[in-house]
Homo-oligomer: A and B are copies of this chain.
Amino acid sequence: MDIWKKFEENNITHSAAHHLLAILELKEKRGYARVTDVARELNITTGSASINLKSLKAKNLIVEDDNKFLALSDEGEAVARAVLMRKNILYSFLANILKVKPEQAEIDSCKTEHLISAETAKKLQEFMERYEETKGA
């Protein structure tokens, strides 16, 4: 019933996913992530980032130390890595198999990375493995 409404029923919104990804990337790239860093990374104002990150803290996806440095919780990191993996699978399928132009493949995989189900992601990956094999090195 009401399959179309499931669009709203995501564990995570597109915006939230990218806040988590920003922290993941910042931590790996620079070792730390603050509100300002996330805002710069996402090219939004610190006001927006502050509010958005607050709700992610409330959901226990992000933790903050006494110096206001941000980190992903275990759950947050799991979510971020899952999204990242899906995006990579999608991008790879679009760019390498369908031969969609890199720029467009980037956009399309970014738009859908947080929306596809675990089942679809898994089956797409398996499909690509078989496909590469068949194509034969």
Contacts and interface: CB of A to CB of B under 8 A. Distances in A.
Interface of A: 1-7, 14-15, 18, 42-43, 94, 97-101, 104-108, 110-112, 115-117, 119-120, 123-124, 127
B120 A94 contact: yes
A3 B110 contact: yes
Nearest to A126: B98
Contact of A119 (B100, B117, B127): B100
Contact of A6 (B111, B116, B120): B111
Contact of A123 (B1, B15, B98): B98
A117 B110 contact: no
A6 B101 CA distance: 16
A34 to B, nearest CB: 19
Contacts of A111: 6-7, 112, 115-116
A108 B94 contact: no
Contact of A97 (B4, B6, B100, B127): B127
Please provide the 9 A-B residue pairs with the shortest distance between their CB atoms, ordered closest to farther. A98-B123, A111-B115, A7-B14, A4-B18, A112-B112, A108-B120, A3-B110, A2-B43, A104-B119
